[in-house]
Structure 1
Amino acid sequence: MRRRHQHLALAAAKSHAALLKSGVSSPTPWNQLLTAYSAAFPPGSSLAAARRVFDEIPRPDAVSWNALLAAHVTAGAHRDACHLLRAMRARGLAASTFTLGSALRSAAAARCPALGAQLQCLAFKSGLADNVYPASALLDVYAKCGRMRDARRVFDEMPERNTVSWNALIAGYAEHGKLAQAMELFLEMESEGLVPDDATFAALLGAIDGPSWCFLMQQLHGKIMKYGAALGLVVLNAAITAYSQCGALADSRRIFDGIWNSRDLISWNAMLGAYTYHGMDDEAMRFLVRMMQESGVQPDIYSFTSMISVCSDHGCDDHRGRVIHSLVIKIGLEGVTSVSNALIAMYTRFSDNCTMEDAYKCFSSLVLKDTISWNSMLTGYSQHGLSADALRFFRCMRSANIRTDEYAFSAALRSSSDLAVLQLGRQIHSLVIQSGFASNDFVSSSLIFMYSKSGILDGARQSFEDADKSSSVPWNSMMFGYAQHGQAQTVTNLFNEMLELMVPLDHVTFVGLITAYSHAGLVDEGSEILNTMETRYGVPLRMEHYACGVDLYGRAGQLDKAKELIESMPFEPNAMVWMTLLGACRIHGNMELANNVASHLFVVEPREHSTYVLLSSMYSGLGMWSDRAIVQRVMKNRGLSKVPGWSWIEVKNEVHSFNAEDRLHPRTNEIYEMLRMLFRVAQRLSSCEDEEILMIISSDT
């Protein structure tokens, strides 16, 4: 495509030079040159070239203006196209079918029905209302804007209709979820004796979504076979995707195999997308390799974003993701924004923190960083617990004048919560208010979480009151805030208020409710919710509800009930459930049950260090030193170590972090000297009376 543009641009430049040299004043060759320049450059750069030629035309006529208008529409400069149309009218140039066609295409692309209505009036004034070309374009405007009644009225009033007219209305119904009406119109089109084309089938196939449309897909496939000679590869490629969308992957593959002699890149991408859509990781990877090695087709941006999404969404291992990354580098697509954004998202979803370095390398390689690029990095730092890095990155975003949206604010507030830096959190809150995101679900939820974690429940409640409470998100966050502070009755009141206001309940709502009862020791109330969640409220129990139930019974010392709850689960318990029970065993000193629980954890999560640490602590507490030594030896042999705990403090908007015996801080010497001084003072105070203590403190300060 690039080579074609270069060839056309060279030819246009030669013609341009010849025209300038000849001094021709007739607009006809200049108009031809203007059209040639518009076709010679990609849409983004064609406009400047077309405008330059237009300004050089000695006497521009209506054709010149129409050509310039078409160049604006092709380049997507719809606002300028509208101004240009007004300028044409001001100069007394009559609107032709070409003028109206271009203007209506612009209105359709900009989704501007008001402009379409104005152009309809212009068509009536110009005597072109019954012309099939502007009428079809007007129909397309209304259909693309979802005004199907207006679209149908225009269609019904057309004295003459062509395939474009029928396709525009069919596409409008299909795009706006009215597939049954679209199919009825398709059958009516056939009864009128018109032959459907690629655009007809593309509109219908693109609307297939879900197994409920499988029978209709089979009917369409029959029609495709009927008109096969008149249809191109585009329809068959769309059929591959449509069959996949309705769950018939075997039929997708059958079509793909049937076009072995005419496949193009879109065919391969459609089949690759079908495998990734169904989460068939291994098959998708093999298919990509086959695509590169056997077919001679080079993967493009879509191919790699599909495969990278598999690694992100379906939990591919780190190695596979790096292999795909190496292929991206080899083909030269690493700096492409959509590909690098997908790679950043992939690396930030891996559990190993070192992959954030890989994510940052992808971010740095980007030629054009968009909002998604910045937000993906910020969210990655926040989710990996690298909260200080997240806040530094947020500051960089603000310095670079990157638009801060709800996702960025939410990540920054969560990181402020993790570091317990209330002052910085309040500053971000003020930015949220200035930006108008205070009522956003994600942002308000993060604000509630931040204030709750800092113990400022009044601030959390105020954020809740400012939120849009039509969804369950802010309600859930507020319930968790009160639950963490043991205010079970307030949580119950919120839950009852949700029921009264008919706010949709979800699984998170009940996690918060059971957590509140667990922290308050209200075993009977929590048990009742567990037993009635599905029957009374229609919310099935998930893994996290069982974990909350185990915590409910475990905190109350009812370990037998906690174990029975696990045994009653309809699916295999995960590490979260077993770890909750192990923690309860430690609190109540049940070593026998702890050994049993640990045996499950060693199978489910053999590299989780917390299991070994908890078990070792229990053995040492009971004086079982030989058992403790065995656990520590196993831990060492498996290359595991206890993750050190960190502490944070905020001083003048700067976060300082420390762990045990840490000497990495730049002011380490001053800190340890102060600690030694405090230790000496403490030793002296331990054996003094009150009056002597006051004298010592005043002398040392």
Structure 2
Amino acid sequence: MFRLLPAWKGRLFSTSLPYVRSNYHWYSTNAICLQIPPNDIEDEKNEIDFELLFSSCTKTDIVKRLHALLIVSGRVQRLSHTTRLVNLYAHLGDVSLSCSTFNQIQTKDTYSWNSMLSAYVRNGQFTEAVNCVYKMLSMSDVRPDFYTFPPVLKACRRLIDGMRLHGWVFKLGFEWDVFVASALVHMYCRFGQFIVANRIFKDMPSRDMGCWNSVISGFCQNGNAAEALAILDQMRLEGIKMDSVTVSSILPVYVVLGNTIVDMYAKLGIMDSARMVFDEMFVKDVVSFNTMIAGYGQNGLASEAVEIFRMMPCKNITPDEGTWVSVLPAYAHLGALREGTKAHGQVFKRGLHWDIFVGTCLVDLYGKCGRLDEALLLFYEVPRTSSVHWNAIIACHGIHGCGGTSLQLFRDMLDEGVQPDHITFLSILAACSHSGLVDQGKSYFHLMQQEYEIKPGMKHYGCMVDLYGRAGHLEKAYNFIKRMPVPPDASVWGALLNACRIHGNIELGKVASHHLFEVDSDNVGYYVLLSNIYANVGRWEGVDVVRSWARDKGLRKTPGWTSIELNNMIEVFYTGHPQSEEMYMELAILTAKAKDLGKHSHKSQ
């Protein structure tokens, strides 16, 4: 249409262009821009609305065409046009053209400087933006305004630059402007200077939502939950409603606080309170579940730990390394080999079996379930550069009476250049104790101190007492205790008392229990040990006396329990179960069938 006009007029073009733009014919608009005759632009009578032209440009070559037309027409000297070109080039991602156009401006005003600053920031050239504002501040004929500082404060990548600009803000009196103050708050939060950010925030005459969110988010990311909640409370008092950003920022604080409280109760052994807090948390993360699982496991409640683990898929929580390190020992404690094997499959699928701690837990699982061959296979599949892995496999063989294998593994460990630690020797001493290797146990106890300079702890002393006691050397065990350089604790006297139970030594058992109740009179297990010593030799009056002591202290024996894997569930049964009679009857039937099968097998041979 414009080509067919004998005398093309800028006024007609300016009148028609908005119609083209309003109908989203951007390609047509750009094509029209390319058809503007330069001679008509030179004619001052043709008043072309260049703002409409600028706003219609969506490609760099179109902007270059208009730029060329402005140069040809001599209108490029108009500051508003040139500054608009700076913005257009920056918007299209060509900062070099923005910079060259900006440098051609002979008399730059504040708006043109601000445009160049925004161009640098928009395209991620933050160092150039900071250098540009420093150059602007050095000019005597240009004064920054409150639009100058927000973008460049966002561009600061060094705290020192932000502090210098803060000084200029204060000097020029812009600290009371809400946008400048908000930019300062954002900047200081980004550098972790939350105290300064909070001080500026509190001095602001008014605050926008972004400013509230920045301070809250900053304190949350810094782990300062108390300050974040205080700001949130102030926000509520001022009648400001939270938006989605506020909620997403503050939720992790509630989760962290909930996790901390759960962990506190778990470490104190108050698992009912820990579970109550856990259940009331309306948002939970993987740490929440890990804390609860670990808490149950550390307090001997393995079945409850597994129960929490099974809740994770329902909450769309993916287990991590910490989850497996907590739940695999629970499966091991329950002897739940089938469920543990399923867990092993999930660990393998996620590639976590290479993690030294997860791998160690898998070795421990198979070892405690009596699958020593599988435990060894797993052990040799992962890097064996840490004593943690060696300790697990040595301990597994030790508890099953394979002391010789444990000692050979210890020698292999030394051959591979792995330094043993105090837990290694604890596992070795326990292995010697379970296998009756008294002389070897004594040798390793001295080796630990003399060659490796590891000072024995109470558990090491307890293992030595158990070593002598299990082998029937009760006097040696008692003399060992008397020669200890530190006062023995309950675990040491408990080991001696258990040895007295095994070998029926009532007199030494009385001595051990006397010392034991002096250091720990609230453990019902020790009363049970002493009463069993009397019961084994028919001293029922002694049994009654010990039981009365326990009753007077309000102690109750922990009921025995067993578990069975059935229909993908782990069923735990305690002494006194309401169906115990049916269970015993079924057990008797199964035992009879097993014996019958054994007889037939023997005859067939």
TM range (shorter): 0.5 to 0.7
Deviations 1:126-150 (A, max 9, x none): 9979989999999968xx9xxxxxx
Cα offset, 1:496, TM superposition: 2.4
TM-score by length of 2: 0.60
Cα distance in 2 for residues equivalent to 1:350 and 1:65 = 64
Q: Is the 8 A contact 1:440 1:468 kept in 2?
A: no
Q: Does 1:515 align with 2:515?
A: no
- Quote the offset at 1:570 in angstroms: 3.3
Read off the aligned partner of 1:343 and give its amino acid letter.
I
Shift of 1:26: 9.5
Question: Corresponding residue for 2:236?
Answer: none
The 3 A distance-change label for structure 1 pair 350 and 137 is: same
Q: Is the 8 A contact 1:334 1:340 kept in 2?
A: no
User: How many angstroms apart in 1 are the aligned matches of 2:260 and 2:542?
Assistant: 47
2:303 pairs with 1:380: no
User: d(CA) in 2 for partners of 1:547 and 1:588?
Assistant: 18
Aligned AA (1:612): Y
1:653 matches 2:568: yes
Secondary structure of the 2:260 match is helix
Secondary structure of 2:577's partner?
A: coil
> What is the CA deviation profile of residues 647-687 of structure 1, one whole-angstrom value per residue up to 9, with x for unaligned ones?
11112322222233411x6xx786577468779x89xx99x
Report the CA distance between 1:623 and its aligned residue: 2.9
1:547 paired to 2:462: yes
- Structure 1 match to 2:419: 504
Q: Which amino acid aligns with 1:559?
A: L
Specify the code of the residue in structure 1 equivalent to 2:439.
D
Cα deviation, residue 359, structure 1: 1.3
- Partner SS state of residue 354, structure 2: coil
Q: Give, as a single letter, the amino acid of the residue that structure 2 aligns with 1:514.
A: L
Q: What CA distance in whole angstroms lies between the structure 2 residues aligned with 1:638 and 1:334?
A: 44
- Alpha-carbon separation, structure 2, partners of 1:334 and 1:101: 31
Task: Give per-residue Cα distances to partners, 1:414-463, cap 9 Å, x unaligned.
Answer: 11111112111111000000111101122111111110111111111122
- Please state if 1:405 is matched with 2:320: yes
- How far the C-alpha of 1:64 sits from its partner, in A, is 11
Which of residues 86, 93, 112 in structure 2 aligns to 1:88?
93
Q: Is the 8 A contact 1:136 1:164 kept in 2?
A: no
The correspondence for 1:524, drawn from 439, 445, 461, is 439
Distance in 1, Cα, partners of 2:428 & 2:557: 32
Counterparts in 2 of 1:371 and 1:586: CA distance versus 1, 3 Å: same
Select which of 337, 345, 364 maps to 2:255: 337
Alignment of 1:268-279 (within 5 A): none
Determine whether 1:461 maps to 2:376: yes
Residue aligned with 1:618, SS: helix
- Cα distance change of structure 1 residues 587 and 62 upon mapping to structure 2, 3 Å threshold: farther
Q: How does 1:174-213 map to 2 (within 5 A)?
A: none
Equivalents in 2 of 1:539, 1:636: separation in Å? Answer: 42
Amino acid in structure 2 at the alignment position of 1:632: R
Could you tell me which runs of 5 or more consecutive residues in structure 1 were left unpaired when the two chains were aligned.
Answer: 1-24, 28-58, 67-84, 105-118, 145-160, 166-205, 207-231, 235-268, 274-297, 304-331, 695-701
Alignment of 1:369 onto 2:374: no
Within 2, Cα distance between the matches of 1:62 and 1:374?
A: 54
CA spacing shift, 1:123–1:449, aligned 2, 3 Å: same
- Once residues 132 and 511 of structure 1 are traced to their aligned partners in structure 2, the CA distance between those partners, rounded to angstroms, is 71
**Is the CA contact 1:334–1:365 (under 8 Å) kept in the aligned structure 2?**
no
Task: From the CA coordinates, give the structure whose radius of gyration is larger.
Answer: 2
Q: Distance in 1 between matches of 2:503 and 2:451?
A: 34
Distance 1:575 1:63 in 2: 79
1:336/1:367 contact within 8 Å kept: no
Q: Which amino acid aligns with 1:473?
A: V
1:627 aligns with 2:545: no
Residue of structure 1 equivalent to 2:43 = none
Q: Give the letter for the 2:544 counterpart.
A: A
Q: Could you tell me whether the CA contact under 8 Å between 1:575 and 1:605 is conserved in 2?
A: yes
What are the equivalent positions in structure 2 for 1:99-178 lying under 5 Å apart?
none
Percent identical: 32
**Equivalent residues of 2:397, 2:406 under 8 A apart:** yes
Q: In the alignment, what sits opposite 1:349?
A: 267
Please say if residues 561 and 573 of structure 2, whose CA atoms lie closer than 8 Å, have aligned partners that are also in contact. yes
Contact persistence 2:465–2:480 (CA under 8 A): yes
**Letter of the structure 2 residue corresponding to residue 498 of structure 1:** M
Residue pair 1:334, 1:362 contacting (<8 A) in 2 also: no
**1 CA distance for matches of 2:118 and 2:252?**
42
Q: Quick one: distance in 1 between partners of 2:86 and 2:263?
A: 51
Tell me, yes or no, if the aligned pair for 1:62 and 1:93 is still in contact at 8 Å.
Answer: yes
- Distance verdict in 2 for CA 1:162–1:411, change over 3 Å: closer
State the distance in 1 between where 2:402 and 2:430 align.
11
Q: Does 1:389 align with 2:308?
A: no
Aligned-partner SS, 2:563: strand
Of 478, 492, 500, the match for 2:407 = 492
Query: CA 1:510 to 1:99, structure 2 compared with 1: closer, same or farther past 3 Å?
Result: farther
355, 358, 362: which one aligns with 1:440: 355
User: Relative to structure 1, is the Cα distance of residues 535 and 339 closer, same or farther in structure 2, using a 3 angstrom cutoff?
Assistant: same
Higher relative contact order (CA 8 A, sep 6+): 2
Counterpart-to-counterpart distance in 2, 1:380 and 1:588: 37
Residues 333 and 339 of structure 1 are in contact (CA less than 8 Å); yes or no, is this contact kept in structure 2?
no
Q: Are 2:341 and 1:426 equivalent residues in the alignment? A: yes
Letter in 2 for 1:572: P
- Residue 475 of structure 1 is aligned with which of 373, 377, 390? 390
Change (3 A) 1:671 1:515: closer
Give the letter aligned to residue 341 of structure 1: N
Q: CA deviation at 1:383?
A: 2.1
Partner of 2:240: none
Quote the offset at 1:376 in angstroms.
0.6
1:448-497 Cα distance to aligned partner (Å, 9 max, x none): 11101111111111221222322211111011111122222322232223
Cα distance change of structure 1 residues 626 and 441 upon mapping to structure 2, 3 Å threshold: same
- 1:100-138: CA deviation from partner (whole Å, max 9, x where unpaired): 67887xxxxxxxxxxxxxx69x959x9979989999999
Cα distance in 1, alignment partners of residues 497 and 136 from structure 2:
75
TM, length-normalised to structure 1: 0.52
The whole-number CA distance in structure 1 between the counterparts of 2:293 and 2:89 is: 48
CA distance in 2, matches of 1:676, 1:489: 36
Distance in 1 (CA, whole Å) between partners of 2:539 and 2:413 is 51
Q: Deviation at 1:385?
A: 2.3
Letter of the structure 1 residue corresponding to residue 296 of structure 2: Y
- CA gap of 1:606–1:103, structure 2 versus 1, over 3 A, is farther
How far apart are residue 335 of structure 1 and its match? 8.4
Q: Alpha-carbon deviations, 1:529-577, whole Å to 9, x = none?
A: 2123133113221111111111111122222332233233333322111
Q: Distance in 1 between matches of 2:342 and 2:382?
A: 18
3-state secondary structure, aligned to 1:644: coil
Distance in 1, matches of 2:590 and 2:527, equals 35
CA contact (8 A) 1:335 1:366 kept: no
SS in structure 2 opposite 1:438? helix
